[in-house]
Structures are given as structure tokens and as C-alpha cells.
């Protein structure tokens, strides 16, 4: 068996920053640390922090006044920030800067009186947060049918933005329909689908062309991981989205296969290596890496951690 490992794969700059932020908050502030929604959409990462006393919440009413609250990588709406202030919470904002860019964009469009057609998936934490920036002005577009059906007050003042983790191809199809319907459509100066999503999609597409089967390491609620599995599946080969080696089934594989492995932007490398080891032990697999692009993106810790001098006293 041959394993082709996609590169880039796994953690992106936003996820690295969010995880480092939570690590740093654990070092500096008294427990428990609360996090609004999952810090990143990965089961393993969330349970690793839960085991260390971090409390993940979906409702601020369960957070006691003056506690420490982190906003996850997916961002939050202004209403959540206002509520946190009311509760006098100490907040630390681990929102990915590329999500913040989309928030700024939709605010700017709505301030100028535009209707914003936001292309994304209903209920995803990022979309909920972004829509909260201008609920009166934003319409969610999930698919091409909705792009055909949507109506706006003034077709001369209409703009679009997208979720950062969409399929590049799906988003292009939806946006081109919107353009046909609204020739004056304005869009972001730079792509909203982030560099990490685009690079991982490009890498898995190349990998799928060379392999008999693709494993995507990532959680079911991770949007970018699901897109990777869909892209591999669309190439006509079996593609499995798995949280880690414990979800692999021996009957999926046979010894003369070439197996591609990649990982979503929130999936730790240790789980990728767990899958590699599983195949090495059972099929004597040899590993090659397919490097499509180098990534060199790094985000600084949130300002709250760069300025705070507070530390937890030694026990």
C-alpha cells in the first residue's frame, strides 16, 4: 500500500491562534475558563480542553458574572459582545482575523444601504455571528435555487460575501448566478473563502486524481473538512471523513491501494499520524508527501493577551 499525504493539510493559522489563545488563557486566568461555542470544530480538540476544565457553552446565561469568556475562532455577533459586557465578563477574542474581515465587510455594505447576500450554511457558528452584524440587511443564500429566488429592495445596491470555509466551486456557481441576476452586484475586494480552505481543497483535488481512496481527518461538524470529503468523493473514489484512526474499518482497504490522506483545518496532526500508523501496521504502507503549496501564515494572539499582565498565582 502507498499513502499519499496531502500538504498543506490540518491546522490553519486561525485554528493555531485560537488554540494558543485558550492555552494562554488557562495559564493566565483563574479557572474555569468559558468558551462560547466549540473553540474549533474538532471533537478531539474540544474534549482535550474539556478534560482540563474548560467549559464550552452555547448560552451566555449559564456563565457566571465576571467569569472569563473566550470567543471561538468562528466569531460572534455584536449582540453576544453586548450581553457579555452586561454580565461584566472578562472576554478574550480568539476570532480568526479572516472571519473578522468578513464581519467588517458586511457592516460596511449594510452601512452604505446595500442588501448583503451572504453565501453560506444556515446554523454554522460563523454564519450566525456574521448575520448578527446586520440582520436587517443580510439574506442568507445556501444554494443556487435560493440565488435564483432571492429578491432585494434595490437591485442597484446589492453586494455579496461568503462563509470562509465554502467549496470554492460551489461558491463560484452561486455567485455567478447572483451576478447574472444583479449585474450591479458588488463583492469583497479579496476572496472571503480563506487561504487555508482554498489550499486544502486544491491539494485534495490533486490527491484524488492519484489515489484509489481518500481519508479526510476531521469532525462531522467541521465545514471545511466536509467540503474536502465532498471534493474527493466527486472525483469518483471512496472518500471517508473520520475523526481519527478509531473510526477506520479494515474492510475499506486492500494492500495494493494508493490511499490519500488529508485533514481539515481544525484537525490535529497527531490524528493524521494515527491513521498513517493504522495503515502501516496492517498493510505495511509506505508514505509519500504531496506538497502542493507552502503556507507561511501566522496570526498574533488577541490584543487582550498581549496587554494583560495577570497570571494565575502558583498553587
Q: Of 105, 126, 133, 304, which one is the catalytic site residue?
A: 126
Q: Is 14 in the site for ligand SF4 (CB under 6 A)?
A: yes
Q: CA 150, 151, 154: angle at the middle one, nearest 5? A: 140
Q: Which of 195/283 has CB closer to ligand SF4?
A: 195
Backbone angles phi, psi at 306, to 5 degrees: -75, -25
Q: Which of 194/279 has CB closer to ligand SF4?
A: 194
Q: CA 195, 100, 196: angle at the middle one, nearest 5? A: 15
C-beta of 165: minimal distance to ligand SF4 in Å? 5
Q: Is 163 in the site for ligand SF4 (CB under 6 A)?
A: no
Q: Is 72 in the site for ligand SF4 (CB under 6 A)?
A: no
Number of residues interacting with ligand SF4: please give it, by CB under 6 A: 15
Query: Which own/partner pairs from 181-184 qualify as long-range (CB within 8 Å, at least 24 positions apart)?
Result: 181/147, 181/148, 181/150, 182/152, 182/155, 182/158, 184/155, 184/156, 184/157, 184/158
Interface with ligand SF4 (CB under 6 A), residue from 35, 89, 94, 99: 99
Q: Cis (ω within 30 of 0) for the bond into 8?
A: yes
Q: Is 215 in the site for ligand SF4 (CB under 6 A)?
A: no
The answer to whether the beta carbons of residues 6 and 258 sit under 8 Å apart is: no
Q: Is 197 in the site for ligand SF4 (CB under 6 A)?
A: yes
Q: Is 165 in the site for ligand SF4 (CB under 6 A)?
A: yes
- Binding residues for ligand SF4, per CB under 6 A? 12-15, 73, 96, 98-99, 164-165, 194, 196-197, 224, 265
Amino acid at each position: 500500500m502507498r499513502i499519499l499525504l496531502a500538504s498543506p493539510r490540518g491546522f490553519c493559522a486561525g485554528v493555531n491562534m485560537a488554540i494558543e489563545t485558550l492555552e494562554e488563557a488557562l495559564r493566565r486566568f483563574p479557572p474555569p475558563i468559558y468558551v462560547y461555542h466549540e473553540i474549533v470544530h474538532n471533537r478531539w480538540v474540544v474534549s482535550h480542553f474539556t478534560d482540563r476544565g474548560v467549559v464550552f457553552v452555547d448560552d451566555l446565561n449559564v456563565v457566571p458574572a465576571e467569569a472569563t469568556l473566550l470567543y471561538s475562532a468562528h466569531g460572534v455577533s455584536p449582540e453576544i459582545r453586548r450581553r457579555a459586557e452586561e454580565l461584566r465578563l472578562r472576554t478574550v477574542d480568539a476570532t480568526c482575523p479572516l472571519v473578522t474581515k468578513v464581519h467588517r465587510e458586511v457592516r460596511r455594505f449594510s452601512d452604505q444601504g446595500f442588501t448583503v447576500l451572504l453565501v453560506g450554511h444556515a446554523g454554522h457558528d460563523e454564519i450566525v455571528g456574521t448575520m448578527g452584524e446586520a440582520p436587517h440587511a443580510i439574506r442568507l443564500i445556501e444554494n443556487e435555487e435560493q440565488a435564483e429566488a432571492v429578491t432585494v429592495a434595490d437591485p442597484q445596491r446589492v453586494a455579496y460575501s461568503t462563509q470562509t470555509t465554502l467549496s470554492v466551486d460551489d461558491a463560484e456557481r452561486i455567485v455567478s448566478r447572483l451576478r447574472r441576476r444583479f449585474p450591479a452586484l458588488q463583492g469583497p475586494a479579496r476572496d472571503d473563502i480563506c487561504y487555508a480552505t482554498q489550499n486544502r481543497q486544491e491539494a485534495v483535488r490533486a490527491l484524488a486524481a492519484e489515489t484509489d481512496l481518500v481519508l479526510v481527518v476531521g469532525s462531522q461538524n467541521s465545514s471545511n473538512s466536509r467540503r474536502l470529503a465532498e471534493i474527493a468523493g466527486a472525483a469518483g473514489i471512496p472518500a471517508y471523513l473520520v475523526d481519527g484512526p478509531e473510526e477506520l474499518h479494515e474492510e475499506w482497504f486492500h494492500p495494493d491501494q494508493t490511499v490519500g490522506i488529508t485533514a481539515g483545518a481544525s484537525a490535529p496532526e497527531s490524528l493524521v499520524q494515527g491513521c498513517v500508523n493504522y495503515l502501516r501496521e496492517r498493510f505495511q504502507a509506505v508514505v509519500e508527501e504531496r506538497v502542493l503549496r507552502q503556507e507561511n501564515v501566522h496570526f498574533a494572539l488577541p490584543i487582550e493577551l498581549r496587554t494583560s499582565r495577570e497570571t494565575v498565582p502558583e498553587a
